[in-house]
Amino acid sequence: ILEALAEMYATGDRAAEGLAYASLATTAAAPRGPTSFQVSSHEAFLEKLDGELAKCDDFAHREVVKVKRELAELESGGSRPRSGSLDGDPEEVEGWRVDAVGQHFLEVEKYVNVNVTAVRKMLRKHDAVLPQRPIAAFYTARMHDMRWVQTDYSSVLVRLSRLYESKK
């Protein structure tokens, strides 16, 4: 997307600002699908970026809500397995669930960190390719407004620590 926009700006093509479409498919005959994309303007690129950031924020929020729900269940003494039946000591099952919740939380954190790193790299590339339209500072500030960044997760870590300690 960035390369096509840069080419439009470099050639003075007003399609970068207008309604004409520039195909970003790898070949002219490429089918519409995951390997092709169309952009009508820089604003369309920014809308796509906004949408991707919102998806990341929504996904992370949903997953943290799941983690908190599972922690509440574990804290209340709910040691039933999620699905099927696990044979074994209920304390062992609960210990397994605590491990699973901790791992889930770490995976959500990794997901967010990988996506934030990718967006930062993309913003740096954008500003290098299109220096006449810098956006890195603006979107870095917007990423600081994401729920993942704004929320204090120390309570989740404390709750997990207490559960780990009680399972020893």
Query: Distance (Å, rounded) from C-alpha 50 to C-alpha 43?
Result: 10
Query: Distance (Å, rounded) from C-alpha 145 to C-alpha 156?
Result: 20
Give bridge partners of residue 22 from the DSSP assignment: 39
Confidence of residue 45 (pLDDT cuts 50, 70, 90): confident
Whether 163 contacts 104, CB under 8 Å: no
Query: Distance (Å, rounded) from C-alpha 38 to C-alpha 22?
Result: 6
Q: What's the whole-number mean pLDDT along residues 65-86?
A: 75
Whether 21 contacts 39, CB under 8 Å: yes
Q: What is the pTM of this model?
A: 0.71
| pLDDT exceeds 80 at position 29 | no
